[in-house]
Amino acid sequence: MGACERSRPASRMGGMVMGANTSAPTPPTRALGAWLARTNNTVYLAATDGFICGFGTSPGGSSVAMLTDGSTPPTTQRNVNGSTTSATGACSPVKAGDYWKATGVDGALFWIPEEA
């Protein structure tokens, strides 16, 4: 090593030792799957993380609610949207292993799973 060169210690990043020939790990790639039609007021078990999206088309009292938790039927309301003058909709994330259902959906209801 020359007089102007010094040895530098490897730096630490996220618990990994970073040196000249290493790089940070690449996070897993995730994508959303196909939009799958589902039925209002029916209990489903989520095999993967995902989203439920639905809408009500009946103005004058339409209220869409998304319920999800570990119980069957689910009782924890995660999202609700109501309107007395126009159609309304709502979306909610769902954890894998939780049950879910949507109420008040008289339009379309979809399950969108997460895929690895």
Mean pLDDT score, 89-112: 92
**pLDDT tens digits for 41-76?**
999 999 999 999 998 876 655 678 899 999 999 999
- The third-level CATH classification (topology) of the domain covering 31-115 is Jelly Rolls (2.60.120)
What value does the mean pLDDT of the chain take? 81
Residue whose entry in the numeric block shows the structure tokens 């040196």: 19
Mean pLDDT score, 68-90: 84
